[in-house]
């Protein structure tokens, strides 16, 4: 059974739809389409603010609605992606059936806070980092066929700090839990909100099958800088909560949850099944 409305996958920071055929959501869109769902993958600025990326997503959603003649879409975002999804759902609720957050930075990232403290505003290191990241973002956008997407690395960094996400949440609180770490309302203004999450667990539990993944060691190193012990290397477990919690104890790192790199994920978890099962769940809700 397919979803009533098309599914739009939304990438996170430094993300893309696909680069020369290599997808950000590795193997996921193909699996969803095989199950009969209509699937589209947005391509937003690799580095920019939540509001800029949110406006880009809304433009993309309008194109999907026009192409499919559907009245709504289901948004599934990863990392920074859910913030753009939430922005669109808050402003255009009648066009959004559901928002699903996968390891979303819904309450900020301690890593972003750390980088912001180290990199002082208007400093030479910030200028250099911004220039480098803008160049990387331009390369990503060019090779993904979206050269026109504007890049702003400093805005992207600030968009993920606890301070700035808190301000964002005051403007767009839909689906957020009343208490961090709790659950939010499942339905707000007609939009259904759901969330998934994971955190890096013990060496035996979390790294089997992940030894060939070159990014996992980096995620584990970053994980050590968190005060929140349960985190995925970039986002704390309680920060991921939005709406009705589906599951947030997968033993995976941040990138594993979009099946990167090339499906080499911890414990051999079937990441693709997370998305196909959720699509079936949305279909059962007639979304």
Output the CA–CA distances (angstroms, integers) from residue 280 to 33, 123, 283, in the order listed: 12, 49, 5
Nearest Cα to Cα of residue 190 among 51, 90, 262: 90
Cβ atoms of 46 and 137 closer than 8 Å: yes
Alpha helices (runs of H) in 108-245, residue ranges in sequence order: 110-118, 124-143, 153-159, 162-171, 203-207, 216-223
Strand pairing report for 22-23 and 18-19: antiparallel
Q: Respond yes or no: is residue 79 known to be catalytic.
A: yes
Which entry of 43, 45, 49, 79 is annotated as an active-site residue?
79
Which entry of 11, 254, 256, 278 is annotated as an active-site residue?
254
Which entry of 17, 113, 213, 232 is annotated as an active-site residue?
232
Q: Respond yes or no: is residue 254 known to be catalytic.
A: yes
DSSP string, 210-261: -TT-TTHHHHHHHHTT-SSSSB-SSSBGGGG--SEEEEEEES--TTGGGTTT
Catalytic residues: 79, 232, 254
């Amino acid at each position: 059974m397919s979803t009533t409305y098309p599914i739009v996958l939304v990438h996170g920071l430094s993300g893309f739809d696909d680069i020369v055929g290599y997808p950000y959501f590795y193997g996921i869109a193909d699996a969803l389409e095989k199950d009969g769902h209509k699937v589209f993958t947005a391509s937003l600025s690799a580095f920019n603010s939540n509001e800029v990326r949110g406006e880009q997503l809304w433009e993309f959603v309008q194109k999907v609605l026009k192409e499919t003649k559907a009245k709504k879409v289901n948004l599934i975002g990863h990392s920074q992606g859910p913030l753009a999804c939430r922005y669109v759902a808050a402003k255009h609720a009648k066009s959004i059936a559901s928002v699903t957050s996968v390891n979303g930075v819904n309450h900020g990232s301690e890593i972003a806070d750390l980088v912001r403290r180290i990199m002082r505003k208007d400093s030479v290191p910030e200028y250099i980092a911004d220039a480098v990241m803008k160049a990387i973002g331009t390369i990503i956008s060019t090779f993904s066929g979206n050269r026109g997407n504007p890049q702003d690395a400093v805005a992207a960094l600030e968009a993920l700090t606890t301070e700035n996400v808190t301000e964002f949440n005051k403007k767009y609180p839909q689906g957020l839990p009343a208490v961090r770490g709790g659950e939010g309302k499942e339905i707000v203004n007609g939009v259904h909100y759901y969330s998934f999450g994971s955190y890096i667990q013990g060496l035996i539990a979390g790294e089997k099958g992940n030894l060939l993944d070159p990014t996992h060691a980096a995620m584990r190193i970053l994980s050590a800088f968190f005060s929140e012990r349960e985190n995925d290397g970039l986002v704390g477990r309680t920060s991921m909560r939005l709406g009705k919690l589906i599951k947030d104890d997968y033993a995976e790192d941040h990138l594993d949850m979009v099946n990167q790199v090339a499906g080499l994920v911890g414990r051999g978890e079937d990441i693709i099944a997370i998305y196909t099962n959720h699509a079936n769940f949305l279909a059962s809700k007639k979304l």
